[in-house]
Amino acid sequence: MNNDNPQVNPKKLFVGSLPYSTTEGELTDLFSPHGEIVDLKIIMDRNTGQSKGIAFVEFSTVEQAEAAIQALHDTELDGRNIVVNVAKPPRPRESGGFGGGGNRRY
């Protein structure tokens, strides 16, 4: 089996263990010295509107993304050591939607 996944984008980075107070501006300031940022997004909880402590940062080249990983992985940001690595593609969602099913009696 071939482990190369054509959906992996080596220019897109996962950033985890972020302080919940981190802003997109702060992340831009942190990552921009390593290259041109194409896209940056902090993931927010739909229900509360609060940060989930993770973000995705995409650079214009693989070399810039690799430089950011080397420079920033396991470094401290506001008292927390952040995780920076290549983002994995999203897993396919389970079919069925609103769940449940099974033996329902009405």
Tell me, yes or no, whether 39 lies in a domain.
yes
pLDDT in tens, 52-71: 999 999 999 999 999 999 99
Tell me, yes or no, whether 41 lies in a domain.
yes
Residue given tokens 């959906």 in the structure block = 7
Tell me, yes or no, whether 77 lies in a domain.
yes
Per-residue pLDDT of the chain (106 residues; tens, 9 = 90+): 344 455 799 999 999 999 999 999 999 999 999 999 999 999 999 999 999 999 999 999 999 999 999 999 999 999 999 999 999 998 887 765 565 555 655 5
Tell me, yes or no, whether 100 lies in a domain.
no
Domain that holds residue 65: 12-86
- Alpha-carbon distances, residue 22 vs 8, 58, 100 (angstroms): 26, 17, 37
Amino acid letter, 101: G
How wide is the angle at C-alpha 20 spanned by C-alphas 16 and 23, nearest 5°?
90
Domain count, the chain: 1
Torsion (CA) 77, 79, 85, 89 in degrees, nearest 10: -100
CB atoms within 10 A of CB 7: 7
